[in-house]
Amino acid sequence: METVIETVFRLESPRIIAAVTRTVRDIGIAEELAQDALVAALEQWPRDGVPDNPAAWLMTTARHRAVDLIRRRETYARKLREIGRDLETTVSPTEPPTPDDIDDDLLRLVFTACHPVLSAEARIALTLRLLGGLTTPEIARAFLVPEPTVAQRIVRAKRTLATKNVAFEVPYGPQREARLGSVLEVIYLIFNEGYAATAGDDWLRPALCEDALRLARVLSGLMPKEPEVHALTALLELQASRSAARTGPTGEPVLLKDQNRSRWNRMLIARGFTALARAEAAGATTSTSGPGPYTLQATIAACHAHAPSYDATDWPRIAALYAALAARSPSPVVELNRAVAVSMSEGPTEALQIIDTLTTNPALRDYHLLPSVRADLLQRLGRRAEARAEFLRAAELTQNERERDLLRTRARECAP
């Protein structure tokens, strides 16, 4: 019974917290009230049985506790006028809340948890806690940081939102566009950490990929007219489709060119194509500046998904898409990826020229993939000693043990 209750709560807690936040205007208090509802379920359900609609029961219980809290406050009269007289007659435990109201509140919670006033680390921790349903220990394990550090980030994030009087709302116009970028960035960062872990003993962390993908799917359902929301969902679906082929029998990384494409998940690929089509359709009616950065990245991922093999990939198109992405969102990492595509479409010499312009970029000074890509190009050009030195340098820079082993293996392959 306890497992059933906790499972239901984990699935429904984001919507409960979102709905209660609309009432109490404080994410921290809303989370506490949602936890109170969980405790009530743990006490009552084993005795009285699981209600016909457990999600509605939890929602209503949390809302009742929110009303009780407001009534206990000295400012109850003022608060009551602000939130409306409907609080006097909350729904019965068996009546589910209005779906549209829940979705609106959930969208507000997404934008609040990812508010730019918070640091990237705080946004990630708070998003995983409130929207992903992860506990503090789970978040700490996922990002290899101490539990107290995660707990402090979450507490500080809630305090910052309260002290800064961040409104529980979905912004509109230019503010919405700016805030949406923060929301998408957080989901993308969570996925990337699961897709290629920056540190630790594991190359993949599937649970993080699944959490990010679930958040992207929820967001695309809540914001069906936003092309970049669908594009991010498409990108994550297509990237996730390769997960089973990205590691070998003992968990070692398998490079894209060596992956067994029959192990790519065709269902996720189909979902990715569908989401990309939605992004393109939405962009055709709303965008005046061409495809956005996530649409371009999803299109690149679709090129890989369409290709029957690494060599048969449409590398000239991918190089052109990276050039468009660099023009839209300039970044040395994008240039690095463009160099890889150029190496396949035009040759390693042309790509090495691009790479050499990046070696003095301070943003890539400690980025292990720069010497890794450069080593690969040098190896293809027959400059084995130089390639070996670059592979070893890349191995020193990475904090992921699996990736370090792969780079050292490639360095040994370049030995005379």
Task: Give the DSSP letter string of 250-306.
Answer: TS-B--GGG--GGGS-HHHHHHHHHHHHHHHHHHHHH-SS---HHHHHHHHHHHHHH
- Pairwise CA distance, residues 26 & 162, whole Å: 7
b/e string for 190-203 if b means 16 or more Cβ within 10 A?
bbbbbbbbeeeeeb
Is the CB of residue 242 less than 8 Å from the CB of residue 307?
A: no
Outline where 307-383 has alpha helix (H). Answer: 315-328, 332-345, 348-356, 369-380
- Pairwise CA distance, residues 375 & 271, whole Å: 35
The DSSP bridge partners found for residue 138 are none
- Pairwise CA distance, residues 105 & 14, whole Å: 9
% of residues, the chain, pLDDT over 70: 91
- Pairwise CA distance, residues 259 & 248, whole Å: 9
Q: Is 109 exposed, middle or buried (0-12, 13-18, 19+ CB in 10 A)?
A: buried
Q: At CA 214, angle to CA 179 and CA 148, rounded to 5?
A: 75
Distances (CA, A) of 151 to 144, 156, 221: 13, 9, 30
State the pLDDT at residue 406: 94
399 phi/psi in degrees, rounded to 5: -105, 5
* Mean per-residue pLDDT, 230-258: 94
**Is 70 exceeded by the pLDDT of residue 394?**
yes
- Pairwise CA distance, residues 216 & 242, whole Å: 18
Torsion of CA 289, 294, 297, 299, to 10 degrees: -70
Give tens-digit pLDDT for 73-131: 655 555 555 655 454 444 444 444 454 444 578 888 888 888 889 998 999 899 888 87
State the pLDDT at residue 151: 93
State the pLDDT at residue 48: 84
Per-residue tokens: 107: 């969208």
Distances (CA, A) of 225 to 99, 105, 185, 282, 283: 19, 18, 18, 6, 8
Is residue 199 within a helix (H) or strand (E), and if so which, with residue range? strand 199-200
Give tens-digit pLDDT for 255-305: 999 999 999 999 999 999 999 999 999 988 876 678 999 999 999 999 999
Is the CB of residue 212 less than 8 Å from the CB of residue 260?
A: no
- Pairwise CA distance, residues 170 & 105, whole Å: 9
Q: What is the largest CA-CA distance in the chain?
A: 82
The DSSP result for 45-93, as a single string, is HHHH---SSHHHHHHHHHHHHHHHHHHHSTTHHHHHHHH-GGGGGPPPT
% of residues, the chain, pLDDT over 90: 45
Q: How confident is the model at residue 144 (pLDDT cuts 50, 70, 90)?
A: low
State the pLDDT at residue 100: 45
b/e string for 67-96 if b means 16 or more Cβ within 10 A?
bebbeeeeeeeebeeebeeebeebeebeee
Helix, strand, or coil (residue 216):
helix
Is the CB of residue 151 less than 8 Å from the CB of residue 157?
A: no
- Pairwise CA distance, residues 387 & 349, whole Å: 14
